[in-house]
Amino acid sequence: MIGAEPDVETDGFDPQGAPRLLTEVPGPRSQELWARDAAHHASNSSPAAQWLRLVLRDGQGAVVRDVDGNLFLDFSSGAVVANLGHAPPAVAAALAEEAGRLLHYFDFATPARTAFFEALAPTLPEPLRTFQMYSTGSEAVEAALRLAKSYTKGYEVISFHQAWHGRTLGSMSLMGGFPLKRGYGPFAPGVLHSVNANCYRCPVGLTPDGCEVACAGLVDRVYEQSSEQRLAAVIVEPVQGVGGVIPFPPEFLAHLRRLCDRTGALLIFDEILTGVGRTGPMWAFESSGVVPDVLIAGKGLACGYPVSLIASRREVLDSLPFGQPGAGASTFASGNLACAAGVATLGLLADGAILENGRRVGAVLLGALRQLAERHPLIGDVRGRGMLLALELVSDRATKTPAAPEIARGLLMALAARGVLLAGGGPIVRITPPLVMSERQALAGAALLDDALAEVEASLASG
Ligand SMILES: Cc1ncc(COP(=O)(O)O)c(C=O)c1O
């Protein structure tokens, strides 16, 4: 079997357990396999993968194991995907069963797809119960842009500083100023950026008490001053994820709703990262009371099997040219396996217990992180909702100067050496465990983070 390592220690794998390191990190098998893999893989792996050089073998619940038998607590859920933990047996079984039945047929309905739609629809309000499926988030973002142009006949889109929407040309054009974007221009015309509602680094120099969400007014200015008034959409993450875990106040989102109602543009919520319980409710928009015209979902919707979709009203999805036969499709869209994994995922979420655990343990973890901020001057801000949390590292709390990249790297490495895995690698440390993580695991992870922060601060103090 691919990836099987028969002589790896297999006992003691408790999905609710603590980290357990048998070797240094990375261990000898990781080092050997990493070198073989690197001989063929492009050198552009994500920072955490490059720095740690771990080769992962399997995972259960909130624990992943490397090929040396080391057990790590997962504080990232991979790319914020494993919301229900790693390899939930019900999802693995559904995939195996469906794989033996039908691996692919282009765009036809299947029983799995019908079941997926019927399980997904009740999680959404009536105006968001017609779907078009895709495989990746970026693909769905691109489709949402086409849809907005198709329905409104406009061509401009407003998006936000620090937004992350994907790596294809259209989705990247929407993104804020990520360094990853540089060197790929020129980007799609018609995209207008506005300031985000970043309360820690307020773009208009105010504080949240009494600011009356002045940043929202600047979006109107962008529309009035920079657009040709041919707005097709405003696209926003209700909580900016990759850009730094920045929850937008409900009033900010309500303001965007009013702008769209006034101009006829579609309000698109990109919930690829915030959906499927990540911020507490099934969908982040539920906490704001603002319903978008289009919702984009992906990531955790099938526990790691690639799936994404756009949800909207039928009249929007049926508008031409988007609604013409074949125009919404793509080779792997609404694949049978994706639908089967999606049905199993939604089945696991149906009684609300996993969402409730995510809310409860997320609140405990947020409290623990706030306590860390009292002890560690490196932490400038602690924020987030549900299991979408972050620490913002600064070199000086008064000036809020972002911590140097080596510090963020040092923290990630020090934490992994204690058995906790993070993604990212910049000064905003995203903490996004699976929603199934136990309170004991979350507090154990926070205690190890405490140690790791102390180590990094001590090394800074010793120069
Ligand atoms: C909010 C948001 N939109 C879009 C994407 C792109 O998704 P994908 O990487 O599946 O293309 C991401 C990925 O992180 C995301 O967080």
- The pLDDT tens digits for 236-248 are 999 999 999 999 9
Instruction: Tell me the per-residue pLDDT of 422-443, one tens digit each, with 9 for 90 and over.
Output: 998 899 999 999 999 999 999 9
The domains of the chain, with CATH numbers, are 28-74+353-461 (3.90.1150.10), 89-349 (3.40.640.10)
Query: Distance from the CA of 460 to the center of ligand 1, in angstroms?
Result: 34
The pLDDT value recorded for residue 328 is 85
The alpha carbon of 461 and the centre of ligand 1 are apart by a number of angstroms equal to 38
Q: Which residues line ligand 1 (CB under 6 A)?
A: 136-138, 141, 164-166, 237, 241-242, 270, 272-273, 298
Question: What average pLDDT does the structure give for the chain?
Answer: 95
Q: Which of 83, 159, 165, 269 has most ligand 1 atoms within 8 Å of its beta carbon, as the pocket-test mutant?
A: 165
**pLDDT in the model for residue 6:** 44
Q: What pLDDT shows up at residue 177? A: 87
- The pLDDT of residue 7: 52
User: Does residue 412 contact residue 48 with C-beta atoms inside 8 Å?
Assistant: yes
pLDDT at 425: 83
Q: What is the pLDDT of residue 440?
A: 97
Q: What is the 168 CA–ligand 1 centroid distance (Å)?
A: 10
Among protein residues, the one with the nearest Cα to ligand 1's atom 16 is 273
Distance CA 399, CA 401 (A): 5
Would you state the structure tokens that stand for residue 88, as one six-digit string?
């939930």
pLDDT at 5: 53
CA distance linking residue 334 with residue 235, whole number of Å: 24
Specify the pLDDT at position 293: 98
Question: In this predicted structure, what is the pLDDT of residue 15?
Answer: 83
Q: Which parts of the chain have pLDDT scores under 70?
A: 1-12
Could you tell me if residue 312 is left (phi over 0), alpha (psi between -120 and 50 degrees) or otherwise beta? beta
| pLDDT at 334 (0 to 100) | 87
Nearest CA to ligand 1 atom 3: 165
Give the pLDDT of residue 387: 98
CB within 8 A of 377, min separation 6: which ones? 397, 457
Residue whose Cα lies nearest atom 4 of ligand 1: it is 165
Q: Which atom belonging to ligand 1 lies closest to the Cα atom of 171?
A: 4
Ligand 1 atom nearest the C-alpha of 167 is 11
